[in-house]
């Protein structure tokens, strides 16, 4: 277990960059009045930040391990229309046992559009399956 925890510590300061072009599947659709404007949704930004963090962790995780989002704070600062390129970067800023802490920034082609802080916890897939089965017995 100590070897795995040492690998987590080695992540400190590492960065991952992620780029995408805003597509129709990423559009803000909470109500009909905003949908036609074709703007990047906060939920799509949320997913992109977390995907970048997960991809950074996947490089060091053993088979049968994954990471799950524990907490997240995203400030969506500016609008981005569909078709624009977005570049985001996440950095590992803390490690406590199997908890990995990230910060991130996102920019479109003209300005900073978001900042983020989030935490992921590394867990075994067997643990997740066991917990799901324990809870599933309460479904009627």
Q: What is the 3 state secondary structure string of 41-71? A: CHHHHHHHHHHHHHHHHHCCCCCCEEEEEEE
Q: What is the pLDDT of residue 77?
A: 98
E strands, the chain, where? Answer: 15-21, 65-76, 85-96, 99-107, 112-124
State the residue range of the domain holding 123: 2-136
CATH of the domain at 121: 3.10.129.10
Q: How many distinct structural domains can be found in the chain?
A: 1
Q: Cβ(104)–Cβ(94) under 8 Å?
A: no
Average pLDDT over residues 58-82: 95
Q: Indicate if the pLDDT at residue 7 is higher than 90.
A: no
Q: Indicate if the pLDDT at residue 1 is higher than 70.
A: no
Under the banding of pLDDT at 50, 70 and 90, the label for residue 6 is confident
């Amino acid at each position: 277990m100590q070897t795995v925890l040492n690998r987590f510590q080695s992540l400190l300061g590492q960065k991952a960059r992620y780029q995408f072009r805003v597509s129709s599947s990423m559009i803000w659709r909470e109500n009909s009045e905003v949908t036609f404007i074709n703007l990047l949704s906060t939920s799509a930004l949320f997913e992109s930040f977390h995907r970048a963090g997960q991809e950074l962790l996947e490089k060091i995780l053993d088979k049968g391990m994954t990471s799950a989002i524990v907490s997240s704070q995203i400030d969506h600062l500016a609008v981005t229309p569909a078709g624009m390129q977005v570049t985001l970067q996440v950095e590992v800023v803390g490690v406590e046992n199997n908890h990995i802490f990230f910060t991130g920034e996102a920019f479109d082609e003209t300005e900073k559009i978001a900042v983020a802080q989030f935490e992921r916890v590394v867990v075994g897939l067997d643990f997740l399956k066991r917990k799901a089965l324990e809870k599933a017995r309460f479904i009627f």
